[in-house]
Chains A and B, each alone.
Chain A
């Protein structure tokens, strides 16, 4: 809800998460990734609300729980890591104390929690963990702070760890370390990880399954291999094309996706991606596509799909992806 009316930030998003799995949710800014994650724990900030749907966790609908019950789930069964470690630790409390607190909130005895904090900091590979527990957040580097946040997230051995762009605010070298750490922990502890990111590279390195979101809806879903090798939704395809690549032809321009993400106050009719889609057909303007199976373990919401775009519209040779430029562009014409 904004001054301009009700924004449906996330609409009809439905997915499963299996035990120990690592799932990536990808999309541009404003595509509803974070709101999706926050609504799982009923943390959508005011004045936002979850108006319908279900969040089933161990056969229990989290949206039906009382405030006290959901509080028990938060941080114990499902915990969350935020984007900016700079601001997600309380600046006036000692780092170790904050991790202790996450455990005390779920009834662990004080002495045990305190001992476990040091272990956790070691587990997230913070050097000199024994002395770091007494540090204030500003005495830690950005990477260490994010490690401390991860330690806090893991403190109650949750079954699901939601990481909301956990590396966006960090240096590239530190990003790699944090991702590696999350991957290790996912394997070692068997906690399922939901990785929210706008970075396809992060997904490639960490996740086994990917959900691609656009304008508050899921447009494609599949295994990481399938999504990278053979994306079916033109948006996924454009996202992958717009990734900077080391092996790209030199002097080639970076390919962006033309246009901007739609205003969710007035989402476009038909397919929400059609104004920016190079492969749109008439049907896209009027009819909203639904997720359909386009291969083993692959769902995409598109009337055209990339298989057809490749065959009929010469998508592989396409350089100019301005809206509508797709049809009729063939090999040889583009130089």
Chain B
């Protein structure tokens, strides 16, 4: 009996790991990645700009003739003026709102659509998996530009419709990722333990499997954001995207393309903003992938 008490005390005095969750751990590793850190700072700046644009822009973004048409950048108009004398900086700021809403909004919806489908396919397998996988493959086979254009023609070119069009053509990667994650997670012992304790399937899917796959989901969504932003810019460039007077970086570039030779800033400014944003999201995604990888414990 005496020995039993002694051993019990040993386990009490045991050294415990520092109070750290997956997320604080990941953040610590992300901070060490320079590129990802710079990208994060840029994106925070972009979000601030988009928020500021809600209440303040240097000039009204749709006000025509504020500056001489095609005016190059100057102290009064930092990024110059466009073909009808609108302030490019003001329009760029509002354009940031559009890009962020499209980028983040589509990915939230993609998660909302793709995750449940992937969970169901991966957990129940069998005929349900076959059906869902078939649907996923069918959607992969549909050309996304065609679907987007048809949808916009049918439903009208609004921001909402563009987001819906992007989600409809881009949800499959998330579903596939979630299906794979679910298939490997469902074999883990804690899922068996949850089933043995009487947990309902919905609880197992969303309470146990989903939180374990959150890392990969976030990484996937982070890479999905720039793809969606680019797709929106592309649609707007073609004129089937966000409609005037709301500026989108794509439509701004499209407006300036005819004046590329003598007023290149009209194209360059939104294009550079777009490139920097895409780059930043990709660097952040890369950084997150490394930071959230549990195998890389450094």
Residues of A within 8 A of B (CB): 41, 43, 45-46, 71-76, 79-80, 82-84, 87-93, 101-102, 105-106, 125, 127, 136, 138-139, 141, 143-144, 149, 152-153, 173-174, 176-177, 180
Contacts and interface: CB of A to CB of B under 8 A. Distances in A.
B8 A177 contact: yes
Contact of B4 (A43, A45, A73, A180): A180
B196 A43 contact: yes
B134 to A, nearest CB: 21
A43 B195 contact: yes
Contact of A74 (B14, B196, B203): B196
What 4 A-B pairs come out closest when comparing CB atoms?
A75-B198, A75-B197, A74-B198, A87-B189
Contacts of B10: 173
B7 A105 contact: no
Interface in B117-151: 125
A105 B200 contact: yes
B188 A87 contact: yes
Given A88-B190, A105-B197, A143 B208 contact: no
Given A87-B190, A90-B190, A176-B4, A74 B12 contact: no
A43 B212 contact: no
B195 to A, nearest CB: 6
Contact of A102 (B21, B198, B214): B198
Nearest to B11: A143
B245 interface: no
A141 B11 contact: yes
Given A143-B11, A173-B10, 17 more contacts: A41-B196, A43-B192, A71-B199, A75-B196, A79-B197, A82-B192, A83-B189, A90-B211, A92-B22, A92-B211, A92-B212, A93-B207, A93-B208, A101-B203, A105-B198, A105-B200, A177-B11
A139 B192 contact: no
B16 interface: yes
A89 B191 CA distance: 8
A238 to B, nearest CB: 31
A91 to B, nearest CB: 7
Contacts, number: 94
A177 B190 contact: no
Contact of B197 (A84, A127, A144, A152): A152
B204 to A, nearest CB: 10
Contact of B200 (A71, A76, A152, A180): A71
B193 A82 contact: yes
Contacts of A92: 22, 211-212, 214
Contacts of B208: 90, 93
Nearest to A37: B196
Contact of B19 (A75, A76, A87, A139): A139
B51 interface: no
A88 B192 contact: yes
A177 B4 contact: yes
Contacts of B203: 101, 105
Nearest to B196: A80
Contact of A88 (B7, B189, B214): B189
A90 B212 contact: yes
Contact of B189 (A84, A93, A144): A84
Given A74-B198, A143-B11, A149 B193 contact: yes
Contacts of A102: 197-199
B16 to A, nearest CB: 6
A106 B196 CA distance: 12
